[in-house]
Amino acid sequence: MADIIHLLPDSVANQIAAGEVVQRPASVVKELVENAIDAKATEITISIIDAGRTAIQITDNGIGMSETDARMAFERHATSKIKDAADIFTIRTMGFRGEALASIAAVSQTELKTRKKENELGTKIVIAGSKIESQEPESCPVGTTFTVKNLFFNTPARRKFLKANKTEFTYILAEIHQTALANPQISFTIIKDGELYAKYPIGTLKQRIISIFGKQMDKGLLSIEDESSIVKIHGFVGVPELARKATNNQFFFVNNRFFRQKSFLGSIMRAYGNLVQQKEYPPFFVFLEIDPGEIDVNIHPTKTEIKFSEEFNICQLLEATVKYTLGKSNIVPTLDFSDPEDYSDMFKSTTNVTVTAPPKIALNPSYNPFKSNNGPSYNNTPSNARNWEKLFEEYQTKKTTESEPLLDFGETTELSNIDLGQDIHIQSCTQVQKKYIVSVVDDKIYIIDIKRAHYRLIYNIFEETITGNQNIPSQKTLLPIRIEVMQHEAESLKEALPQLQALGIDIEEFGNQTFVINGTPSNIRPEMVQETIMDFATRINESGKNFKDNWQEYIVKTMAKSASLYRNPDMNKDEMQQFVSNLLQTKSYTITPDGQLVTVIVEINDLLKKFN
Ligand code: ADP
Ligand code: MG
C-alpha cells in the first residue's frame, strides 16, 4: 500500500497559518503598521479602500529593505528581529514571529516597494497567494510601501465572514488608535477611500490623546505616575465626567504594546469606585514599563493578552496610583446617580404581606413603543399622558425666565383641571423618608418610590408623543452646546440627526466632527442631553444592529431618567395626591422602563388578616 502522508505545499500551509494572524483587514493594518514602527519610521500613511476589502496601503519612511531582504521578508519565520529562542524573552520590538508578511501574502495580492537610504534604486515585488509574480528594480522614496489588494480573494469563506464596511473600518481605526497612542513621536495619516480622514501630528502623549479623542479630553486628563521595583506606571486617567458607556477609550500598554487585562481593568474601576455610574467607563491611557522577562507576550496569536508574573502586585499598585491621583485632584461625587439599596425588598421583609399584581390596568411588558409595527395603543390606559404633556406645555408658556429650567412638580396644584379619572379615590398620602409616598386608594395601599415614579411618568410622556408621531417640543438652550466626536462617530451621528430632532434635541452638524445642540426637550437639563449624545455617539457604531433598532428608546430612557433625578421629592398633600393620581393612571406604573420596582401594592384585606 502506498504511503499516504505528504507535506503540504508552502502556499497551503501559509494560507492555513494566515487564519491565525490575518482575521480581518484590521489585522493587516496592525501588522504592517507595527512593521513600519519597527523599521524606525517617523511618518506612516495608512490608506484604506472599501474598509480594506479592496486595498490597504501602508507607506513609511523607515529604513527600507534590500533586494534580498525584500524577497526574504515573505518567507515564513523570516524575521530580522530575533536570532534564537532566548531573544523571545527580551524582545522589545512589535513583531518577532516572522509570519505576518508570509500570512498576508498568502491570502491577498500584495505589492511591496522599498528602498534603503544607501541605494539609489529600490525594489518592487508583486506576490499573490504566496506566489512571487515579479521582482524588479523600482525608483521609489526611502522607506517602504505595502499595498495589499483583494484580501481573502482565494479564501472566499473568510471574505464572506467579514462584517459591514462600517464595522470593519471601526476595527481598523481601533488598531490604529492603539498604535498611535503608543507612538506619539510618529505622525499618522489616515486616508479613507481616497480622502484625508484624520492626521495625528507628532506631539506629546496628551496631544495625541486629544487629536484622537477630541478637545473634550483637554481639561479632563489627570496624569498618573508611579515607580517601583516591579513596574513603572505612567499615563493619564480621565475625570469621572468623561466616563462613557463604551469602553473604546480605555487603553493599557506594556512596554509600549497595547494589551487587555481584566484584572488590571478591575483595579482601575475599583479606584474610581462610585465616582462613575455602573456600566460607565472612564477613559484611561495607562502605560506600564516592565522587565520583558517578567511578561509573556506570546500566549495569544494576536498578542493582546499578556501574562504577568507579578499580576497581583501590579493590580495593587495600579489601584493605589489611580486612587491617589483622583484623590489629589479633589474629585468627589457631585451627583448620586445610583440607588445602592434595593428598596423593593424592604417592604417585603418587614411587612410580610402578599404583594398583589396591579389592578385594573393591563400591561404588556414586551410592548416596544419605538417599533412601528406594534398596532394600536393600550385600550384601557386613560389618556393621562396627554394631560402630562399638556402640563409640560403649560409649564413652558408660564415660564418667564431661563434661570429655572426644570419643571417643578410643585406647580401641579395649579393644574387641578386635569381629569383625574373616575376610578381613583385617593384617601390619604404620606411621604416617608423623602423617598416614598404611601397612599391609600380604595382598598389598597400603594407604596411608591418617588424618583422611579418620576422616571416612569416622564418616559411615558415621551413615548406617547413619539407613538403619536409627534415631535417632542424643544426649548432653546441659553448657549449652544458644542459636541466633538470622533470621525467615524460623526458619520453615524449625522445619519441620526432627524430622529434626534424628533426627540426634541435640536442638534445640527457644525463642521468637522463637531455638532451643536441649540435646543433640548423643555424638561431635560442641556448637559444631560449633551452627555446622552456623547454616549450615543460612542455606542452607535459599536453596538451593532440590536442597538440600532433600539437606540431611540435608549435616548428616551436616558433623558427621562436624568430628568427624574432632578425632581424635587418634597411635595405637599395636594401635590402628592396629584402625583399619585397621575401615576396610577399611567401605564406600567409598577415598574420603571428598566424594570425596577416603582410601586408596591398591598391589599388592605390581606393586611387585616394579620390581626386575626
Ligand atoms: P516580524 O515583524 O515578526 O519580523 P514580518 O513578517 O512582519 O515578521 O516581517 C518580516 C521582516 O520583514 C521583518 O523582520 C523586517 O526585517 C522586514 N520588514 C517588514 N516590514 C518592513 C518595513 N516596513 N520596513 C522595513 N523592513 C520591514
Ligand atoms: Mg511584523
Residue whose CA is at the smallest distance from ligand 1 atom 23: 36
- Residue 308 alpha carbon to ligand 2 centre in Å: 23
70: Cβ below 6 Å to ligand 1?
no
**SS3 state at 124:** strand
> What is the per-residue pLDDT for 421?
47
Closest CA to 364 of 382, 343, 381, 347: 381
- Amino acid sitting at position 96: F
36: Cβ below 6 Å to ligand 1?
yes
Atom of ligand 1 nearest to the CA of 93: 2
Q: Outline where 299-402 has alpha helix (H).
A: 311-328, 343-351, 384-398
147: Cβ below 6 Å to ligand 1?
no
C-alpha cell at 154: 482565494
> What is the per-residue pLDDT for 479?
85
- Residue 69 alpha carbon to ligand 1 centre in Å: 9
Note the pTM of the prediction, 2 decimals.
0.60
Closest CA to 238 of 255, 251, 227, 228: 251
> What is the per-residue pLDDT for 31?
93
> What is the per-residue pLDDT for 330?
63
Query: Grid cell 495608512 — which residue?
Result: 46
Distance of CA 141 to the CA centre of its chain: 40
> What is the per-residue pLDDT for 564?
82
> What is the per-residue pLDDT for 561?
85
Query: In angstroms, how far is the first alpha carbon of the chain from the final one?
Result: 93
Closest CA to 44 of 158, 184, 205: 184
- Residue 93 alpha carbon to ligand 2 centre in Å: 9
Residue 260's beta-bridge partner residues? 305
Mean pLDDT by runs of 10 across the 612 residues of the chain is 72 71 92 95 97 97 96 82 62 65 94 97 95 95 97 90 93 96 97 94 95 89 90 94 88 91 92 86 95 71 73 90 82 34 32 35 37 33 39 37 31 30 76 90 90 90 80 85 88 87 91 90 83 83 63 83 77 88 85 83 84 80
Atom of ligand 1 nearest to the CA of 102: 6
Atom of ligand 1 nearest to the CA of 62: 24
Q: What is the DSSP code string of 432-462?
A: ETTTEEEEEETTEEEEEEHHHHHHHHHHHHH
- Residue 110 alpha carbon to ligand 1 centre in Å: 14
> In what side-by-side order are the strands of the sheet with 474-484?
474-484, 514-521, 506-509
> In what side-by-side order are the strands of the sheet with 195-200?
131-138, 122-128, 109-115, 143-149, 55-60, 43-49, 187-192, 195-200
Q: What is the DSSP code string of 495-556?
A: HHHHHHHHTT-EEEE-STTEEEEEEEETTS-HHHHHHHHHHHHHHHHHTHHHHHHHHHHHHH
Residue whose CA is at the smallest distance from ligand 1 atom 8: 98
Residue whose CA is at the smallest distance from ligand 1 atom 1: 98
- Residue 98 alpha carbon to ligand 2 centre in Å: 6
Which ligand is nearest to the Cα of residue 123, counting in written order?
A: 1
Q: How far apart are CA 210 and CA 200, in angstroms?
A: 9
Which ligand is nearest to the Cα of residue 145, counting in written order?
A: 1
Residue whose CA is at the smallest distance from ligand 1 atom 2: 95
Max CA pair span of the chain: 104
